[in-house]
Amino acid sequence: MKVIIYLIILLTTCNSIAQEAVTNIQSIKPAKEYKNIHVQKISSDSLSSTFVIWIKKKVRLHKHLYHRENVIIQEGSGQFQLKDSIYNVSAGDIITIPKNTWHGVTINSKDVMKVISVQSPKFLGDDRVFKN
């Protein structure tokens, strides 16, 4: 009987931990008004950082010296530059950006572009270099 009670407690605890890790992306809204870009951190640890980013106009060409980045477009469309190539991107597209790779985006939709950005390792903000 003790084993059954222990298992029930363990399963209940694991389920509540898992529920706290689940976020509905549609429910996340910008925390404040912004001119062009708004970034909101969802999670971060030593291995990775996850952000929701809203972009109204563009993100200047830049690179991350030590980070790999994966971008998942949730809303909007635009032209994404990766190295010397330009891609037409829209909701549902995933972009993989190796570390030390120039990238940026120009929005061409009426809607704001909303993306999920996952960077690894943890993003501290000190390795982003903008191109002149």
- Residue 43's alpha-carbon distances to 20, 115, 116, 122, 127, in angstroms, are 12, 15, 11, 10, 19
HEC letters along 60-112: EEEEECCCEEEEEEEECEEEEEECCEEEEEECCCEEEECCCCCEEEEECCCCC
Q: pLDDT tens, 15-24? A: 433 445 787 8
Compute the average pLDDT of residues 72-84. 98
Q: pLDDT tens, 82-130? A: 999 999 999 999 999 999 999 999 999 999 999 999 999 999 888 999 9
Residue 17 main-chain phi, psi, to 5 deg: -65, -45
User: What is the model's pLDDT at position 27?
Assistant: 87
Q: DSSP character for 126? A: S
List CB contacts of 100: < 8 A, sequence separation 6 or more.
63, 64, 65, 66
Q: Are 88 and 79 in contact (CB under 8 A)?
A: yes
Residue 118 to residue 121: CA distance in whole angstroms: 9
User: What is the model's pLDDT at position 11?
Assistant: 41
User: What is the model's pLDDT at position 17?
Assistant: 39
pLDDT at 8 over 80: no
Considering the chain, what percentage of its residues have pLDDT values greater than 70?
85
> pTM for the whole thing?
0.82
Average pLDDT, the chain: 87
Nearest CA among 110, 107, 11, 132 for reference residue 53: 107
